[in-house]
Structures are given as structure tokens and as C-alpha cells.
């Protein structure tokens, strides 16, 4: 008896996932939020549905409120947050998210930092990108730069999104 390969697991994964996109920023507007727009574009190009897109201040209470709203929506299967993962005084997304995670996917942050290191070198240590499970939903929290968004979405999130949602439904 053989065990299924990771490719076989992905073959049975849903191809369209309902996603919520949050941009955490004190300075961006919907017109200037190129990273949030990029996430939406990449999701839709891959056949996923953007259930909601919101711009919130980098304030832990606001971030947690919007995460709770997303996890209470039966159509949202994944939440992708960008911004607030650095170490400046106002960067509080990591703390807000980490407090809520029921399970952590440590490998996401580790691999994201490794891939970032390959592109930009030692500044990769500054990012606190993370992922995990909240209320039966997958959540990714990534930096707000367009390059970081493109890297995370193309190399990690989009290739595994359906597979992760399938695993959560078991």
C-alpha cells in the first residue's frame, strides 16, 4: 500500500478559495495600497474569490476586530494580511495576529525569511511574517512591500492555499 504524494494531496484540493484581504497601514489609502491591490489581483488570476478587502490602521484592537469579522464569515476560508510585520514602534500586526493563532505554521515565516534573504540579504531578519490557523481559517501575515507580497503569494501562498484549506476540512 502506497501513501499519497504531496502532488496527489493537491489534486483533490479546492481550486477556488474565499479570501479576505487586510492591509494594515497608518498611511495608505485604497488608491495608494498597491500591495493590497496586488494580493487581490494575484488571487483572482488564480481563480480565488476576494470576499472582502479592507484597509485598517496598524492598531492591534482594529486588526483583531477585522480578523474576528473574517473568521465569522462562512465564505471566508483564508485571510491574507499585509503590513505591520516590521519592528518599528507602530508595527503591531504580528502581536495582534500571534495572540489569536490557535496553531502556528512556523515553516511559513522561516521559508519566507529564507527566500527574502536570497533576494535582499541580511535585512530579511527584520520581517515577522507568520501564518497559522484561527477559527478553522488559514491566516497569512506578510510585509506590506510589493516585492514581499509578490514573493509570498507566488512562492508560498498560492501554491498551497487550496491544499491548506483541504487539510483544515479534515
Check residue 96 and give its pLDDT: 97
* The predicted structure's pLDDT at residue 139: 98
CA 164 to chain centre: 12
Of 73 and 30, the one with more pLDDT: 73
3-state secondary structure of 142: strand
The domains found in the chain, sorted by start residue, are 22-168 (3.40.980.10)
Give the list of residues 6+ apart from residue 106 with CB closer than 8 angstroms, or none: none
Angle, CA 140 vertex, CA 121 and CA 165 arms, to 5°: 130
CA-closest candidate to residue 45, choices 116, 150, 165, 169: 150
Q: Tell me the per-residue pLDDT of 98-141, one tens digit each, with 9 for 90 and over.
A: 999 999 999 999 999 999 999 999 999 999 999 999 999 999 99
Residue 45 has pLDDT above 90, yes or no: yes
Task: Please state the rounded mean pLDDT for residues 70-86.
Answer: 97
Place of cell 500586526: 93
pLDDT at 13: 86
Read off the pLDDT band of 5 (50, 70, 90): low
Q: What pLDDT is attached to residue 4?
A: 60
Instruction: Look at residue 10 in the predicted model and tell me its pLDDT.
Output: 64
CA 54, 86, 163: angle at the middle one, nearest 5?
60
Name residues whose C-beta falls within 8 Å of residue 161's C-beta, 6 or more positions apart in sequence: 17, 46, 48, 78, 138
How remote is the C-alpha of 98 from its chain's centroid? Answer: 13
Amino acid at each position: 500500500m502506497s501513501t499519497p504524494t504531496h502532488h496527489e494531496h493537491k489534486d483533490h484540493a479546492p481550486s477556488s478559495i474565499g479570501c479576505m484581504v487586510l492591509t494594515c497601514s497608518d498611511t495608505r489609502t485604497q488608491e495608494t495600497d498597491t500591495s493590497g491591490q496586488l494580493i487581490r489581483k494575484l488571487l483572482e488570476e488564480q481563480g480565488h474569490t476576494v470576499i472582502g478587502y479592507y484597509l485598517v490602521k496598524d492598531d492591534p484592537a482594529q486588526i483583531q476586530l477585522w480578523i474576528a469579522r473574517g473568521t465569522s464569515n462562512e465564505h471566508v476560508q483564508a485571510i491574507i494580511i499585509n503590513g505591520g510585520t516590521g519592528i518599528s514602534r507602530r508595527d503591531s500586526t504580528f502581536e495582534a495576529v500571534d495572540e489569536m493563532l490557535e496553531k502556528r505554521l512556523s515553516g511559513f515565516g522561516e521559508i519566507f525569511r529564507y527566500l527574502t534573504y536570497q533576494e535582499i540579504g541580511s535585512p530579511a531578519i527584520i520581517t515577522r511574517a507568520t501564518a497559522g490557523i484561527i477559527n478553522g481559517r488559514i491566516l497569512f501575515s506578510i510585509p506590506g512591500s510589493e516585492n514581499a507580497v509578490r514573493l509570498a503569494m507566488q512562492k508560498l501562498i498560492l501554491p498551497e492555499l487550496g491544499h491548506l484549506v483541504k487539510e483544515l476540512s479534515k
